[in-house]
């Protein structure tokens, strides 16, 4: 006897897209049966002909900003938006909240801020900054999923970046207890020598963050990983120039993985209007040919996964009034629409929902040790996303659950509408039933 059976003609499993009846017991997937073999259950839900059942997405790159900058987002709004976007697990970044998550006391402050407010499961990253080496092991033991560092100014003064020598030391340290370092890879010196980002022209902003800054930083991280044996993960990859280098290092056995984001796979520099600061993020959205190379990197498996890098702020800080790229906060708000954005582009390039589920659920879960997340398979949490993959929507930033109504996707018509999400076998609805998760236990 099961608590719940969900039936769909299109169930996205590790074996492909198949018609199945999915049985749930005690919050876990306990049966994946042929569509017509409906197990006995307290509740049977027939999902209908026009939807697909995906594993709930796992978004390991979200800036919730609470406490400290809760006017930018917050646990309640972020996790509501996640659920509405088919995401059932997020991992929160250690910066932009105050205090930043650089010691156990700060992690406790953040956990307290999140407690009782989350609609999806939430884990936390720790931060690696100059001066916190003595706190990293304790943070690791307290259950953070790994450590984030920057290689240039992070955008907020309270989260300093690691200079090359400190980065090598930190990687050596983390390799000692098997923690992953996730890296914002842009080189400080290259950015310092690039022209400044002033004014409304997108081309000027792009020139201020050249590909070379990413290329050099990724090369440095790769070699440090090779020397130290540390596991590294490149965040929000934008420069496709780096892909051959990453592939080559991997062939040598360097433990390096990489993510990109829906906005790099959707937009192109050529199409961004001057003054449209909702598109400002770092590293920046580059040219259309670069975007196509990122798609090739995904198709070939060099890029492991796609996560949001949801990094919102208030409308005021986006400087929509002046459209000045130099002054606007850098970060794209897109948590709720990442799945339709990626699916819209993926289907045009001949990819299937099974690919999207692998990039946005299975791989991120595997990379960071979320052992019961990211797959519709026996023993996994019954975290599920119901998607109408042929239905269209036009994004209105004002109707998203994000706290602030500014998004690069505003006005975009996307294919794929999330009809609902389930967390451990319960429909995500009025009550915040998410839990705070720790590394190794989720």
Site residues (CB under 5 A) for Zn ion, limited to 413-442: none
Longest dimension (CA), the chain: 67
Q: Which two tokens stand for residue 260?
A: 């990109």
Peptide bond preceding 407 in cis form (omega within 30 of 0):
no
Of 64 and 216, nearer to Zn ion (C-beta) is 64
Q: Which two tokens stand for residue 269?
A: 């520099």
Q: Is residue 59 within the footprint of Zn ion (CB under 5 A)?
A: no
Of 66 and 309, nearer to Zn ion (C-beta) is 309
Of 309 and 381, nearer to Zn ion (C-beta) is 309
- Please provide the DSSP assignment of 125-153 as one string: -EE--TT-HHHHHHHHHTT-S-EEEESS-
Site residues (CB under 5 A) for Zn ion, limited to 309-328: 309
For residues 248 and 193, the answer to whether their CB atoms sit within 8 Å is no
Q: Is 236 exposed, middle or buried (0-12, 13-18, 19+ CB in 10 A)?
A: buried
- Residues with Cβ within 8 Å of 251's Cβ and at least 6 positions away in sequence, in order, are none
How many CB atoms sit inside 10 A of residue 178's CB? 11
Residue 117 has what DSSP assignment? -
Q: Shortest gap between Cβ of 311 and Zn ion (angstroms)?
A: 5
Of 90 and 353, nearer to Zn ion (C-beta) is 90
334 closest CA partner among 58, 65, 51, 63: 63
Give dist(CA 187, CA 192) in Å, integer.
9
Of 10 and 61, nearer to Zn ion (C-beta) is 61
Q: Shortest gap between Cβ of 318 and Zn ion (angstroms)?
A: 16
Of 66 and 355, nearer to Zn ion (C-beta) is 66
Q: Shortest gap between Cβ of 329 and Zn ion (angstroms)?
A: 12
- Residues with Cβ within 8 Å of 70's Cβ and at least 6 positions away in sequence, in order, are none
Of 2 and 325, nearer to Zn ion (C-beta) is 325
Site residues (CB under 5 A) for Zn ion, limited to 292-311: 309
**247 strand-pairing partners:** none
Q: Shortest gap between Cβ of 273 and Zn ion (angstroms)?
A: 24
Give dist(CA 70, CA 63) in Å, integer.
11
Of 334 and 389, nearer to Zn ion (C-beta) is 334
Q: Shortest gap between Cβ of 192 and Zn ion (angstroms)?
A: 21
How many CB atoms sit inside 10 A of residue 270's CB? 12
Q: Shortest gap between Cβ of 83 and Zn ion (angstroms)?
A: 20
Peptide bond preceding 237 in cis form (omega within 30 of 0):
no
Q: Shortest gap between Cβ of 332 and Zn ion (angstroms)?
A: 9
The DSSP H or E segment spanning 427 is strand 426-427
C-alpha torsion sign, points 11, 14, 16, 18 = negative
Q: Shortest gap between Cβ of 62 and Zn ion (angstroms)?
A: 8
Of 309 and 366, nearer to Zn ion (C-beta) is 309
Q: Shortest gap between Cβ of 287 and Zn ion (angstroms)?
A: 22
62 closest CA partner among 263, 333, 268: 333
Give dist(CA 65, CA 94) in Å, integer.
9
Size of residue set near Zn ion by CB under 5 A:
1
Which residue is nearest to Zn ion, using beta carbons? 309
Q: Shortest gap between Cβ of 93 and Zn ion (angstroms)?
A: 5
Of 96 and 175, nearer to Zn ion (C-beta) is 96
* Interface residues toward Zn ion, by CB under 5 A: 309
């Amino acid at each position: 006897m099961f608590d719940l059976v969900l039936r769909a003609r299109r169930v996205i499993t590790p074996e492909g897209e198949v018609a199945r009846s999915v049985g749930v017991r005690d919050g876990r997937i306990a049966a994946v049966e042929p569509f017509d073999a409906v197990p006995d259950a307290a509740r049977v839900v027939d999902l209908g002909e026009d939807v697909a059942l995906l594993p709930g997405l796992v978004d390991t790159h979200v800036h919730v900003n609470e406490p400290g900058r809760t006017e930018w987002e917050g646990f309640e709004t972020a996790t509501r938006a996640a659920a509405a976007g088919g995401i059932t697990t997020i991992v929160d970044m250690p910066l932009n909240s105050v205090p930043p998550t650089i010691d156990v006391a700060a992690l406790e402050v953040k956990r307290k801020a999140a407690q009782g407010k989350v609609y999806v499961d939430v884990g936390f990253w720790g931060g690696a900054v100059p001066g916190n080496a003595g706190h990293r092991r304790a943070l690791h033991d307290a259950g953070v999923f790994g450590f984030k560092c920057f290689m240039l100014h992070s955008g907020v003064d309270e989260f300093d970046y690691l200079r090359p020598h400190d980065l090598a030391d930190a990687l050596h340290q983390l390799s000692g207890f098997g923690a992953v370092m996730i890296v914002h890879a842009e080189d400080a010196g290259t950015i310092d020598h690039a022209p400044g980002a002033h004014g409304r022209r997108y081309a000027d902003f792009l020139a201020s963050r050249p590909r070379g800054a990413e290329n050099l930083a990724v090369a440095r991280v790769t070699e440090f990983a090779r020397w130290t044996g540390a596991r590294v993960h490149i965040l929000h990859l934008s420069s496709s120039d780096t892909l051959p280098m990453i592939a080559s290092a991997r062939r040598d056995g360097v433990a390096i993985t990489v993510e990109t984001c829906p906005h790099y796979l959707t937009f192109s520099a050529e199409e961004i209007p001057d003054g449209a600061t909702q598109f400002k993020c770092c590293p920046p959205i580059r040219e259309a040919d670069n975007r196509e190379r990122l798609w090739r990197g995904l198709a070939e498996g060099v890029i492991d996964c796609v996560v949001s890098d949801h990094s919102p702020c208030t409308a005021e800080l986006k400087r929509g009034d002046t459209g000045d790229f130099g002054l606007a906060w850098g970060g794209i708000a897109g948590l709720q629409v990442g799945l339709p954005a990626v699916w819209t582009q993926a289907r045009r390039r001949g990819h299937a929902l099974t690919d999207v589920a692998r990039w946005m659920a299975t791989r991120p879960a595997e990379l960071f040790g979320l052992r019961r997340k990211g797959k519709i398979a026996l023993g996994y949490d019954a975290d599920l996303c119901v998607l109408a993959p042929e239905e269209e929507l036009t994004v209105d930033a004002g109707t998203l659950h994000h706290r602030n109504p500014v998004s690069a996707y505003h006005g975009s018509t996307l294919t794929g509408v999330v009809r609902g999400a389930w967390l451990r076998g319960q429909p995500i609805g009025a009550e915040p039933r998410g839990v705070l998760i720790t590394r190794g236990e989720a």
